[in-house]
Amino acid sequence: MEQRLYEAVFGGDLEEVKEILRNPGLDVNWECNADWDYTALQRACSNGFDSIISILLAHPDIDVNQENIYVG
């Protein structure tokens, strides 16, 4: 499910992101090893997807301080 979220964010699919975020137990801070350990939030920020950023920031489990290969 986490990979699916990441791919939806990467593709800018807001509706798919909303649907996936409804799943209990989803790790919204999952890191995509194939993409420099970016999280979905980091990828949304990198791509400038403001609507997706807002949705992700509203999720109660999001970690805005998560580091990746570039930060840390």
pLDDT digits (tens, 9 = 90+) for 3-36: 999 999 999 999 999 999 999 999 999 999 998 8
Mean pLDDT of all residues in the chain? Answer: 94
Question: Within a domain: residue 16?
Answer: yes
Residue 72 has pLDDT above 60, yes or no: no
d(C-alpha 15, C-alpha 13), whole Å = 6
Stretch 37-65: mean pLDDT: 97
- The band of 68, judged by pLDDT with boundaries at 50, 70 and 90, is confident
Rg (CA), the chain: 11
Question: Within a domain: residue 34?
Answer: yes
Question: Within a domain: residue 38?
Answer: yes
What CATH number does the domain containing 24 carry? 1.25.40.20
Question: Within a domain: residue 68?
Answer: no
Range of the domain at 49: 2-58
Residue 70 has pLDDT above 80, yes or no: no
Domain count, the chain: 1
Question: Within a domain: residue 69?
Answer: no
Question: Within a domain: residue 26?
Answer: yes
